[in-house]
Amino acid sequence: MEDHPSEAEALIELRGVTKIYGTGMAAVSALGGVDLRIAAGEFVAIMGPSGSGKSTAMNVIGCLDTPTSGQYLFHGIDVGRLDRNQRALLRRHFLGFVFQGFNLLPRTTAADNVELPLIYRGEPYEKRRALAFEALARVGLKGREHHTSAELSGGQQQRVAIARAIVTEPAVLLADEPTGNLDTKTSREIMDLLNSLNRDQGITIIMVTHEPDMAAYARRIVRFLDGQIAADEPGRQAA
């Protein structure tokens, strides 16, 4: 088994993280004291049944939710000490998101969709257009920049979503069931793309999936059960 990242080199670290929804008799514990370290450049698949805590852990890492207790460190910075605006800046500058449902604007071109994070950053039109075209080329969609979502297949739409996620050059790409709406062949193509982004461009990838065939692309598999990490083991790609 390969060594897990030491404290000094962890890009992402959860220390005793708990998450409780609701209060009193209605309280539900989604995470029960999770410790997890992920180093820069890793490709980690997070697995587990519904209600296991995997999506809650992803939301905490993505700064979409905050722990009830414990610490979340990003590059050694205690994210819990950041205010809402600072967490938004962390998301905007260091994190990219890919979802099962693509989340593209339907009557908007691929390039316009990819530009969205750059608009939020206040980048000028010429720069963001050039970066959007470059990102689309990186995901194999050169020549499709002016196609709308309706003119693209499901796999192509997910490629647009990945381009949108990487156009800001994030340190971490968070992928939540990225192949959940795709057929087997297209799913493998998307996983090959994610693998190349990790291997060739050094993007740290954290992916939630319930599909063992997709998790096999990762170099490390973390399995959640009942709000705890039940297993943390090398994936098939670790060799």
Query: With contact defined as beta carbons under 8 Å apart, do 69 and 16 qualify?
Result: yes
Residues 53 and 47: their CA atoms lie apart, in Å, by: 9
pLDDT digits (tens, 9 = 90+) for 214-226: 999 999 999 999 9
User: Which parts of 50-170 fold into alpha helices (H)?
Assistant: 54-61, 84-94, 110-121, 125-138, 154-166
Question: Which H or E element spans position 215?
Answer: helix 212-215
N- to C-terminal Cα distance for the chain? Answer: 10
For the domain 41-63+84-238, what is the CATH superfamily, name and number? P-loop containing nucleotide triphosphate hydrolases (3.40.50.300)
pLDDT digits (tens, 9 = 90+) for 32-89: 999 999 999 999 999 999 999 999 999 999 999 999 999 999 999 999 999 999 999 9
For the chain, domain boundaries: 41-63+84-238
Query: With contact defined as beta carbons under 8 Å apart, do 14 and 71 qualify?
Result: yes
Question: Mean pLDDT for the chain?
Answer: 91
Provide the whole-model pTM.
0.91
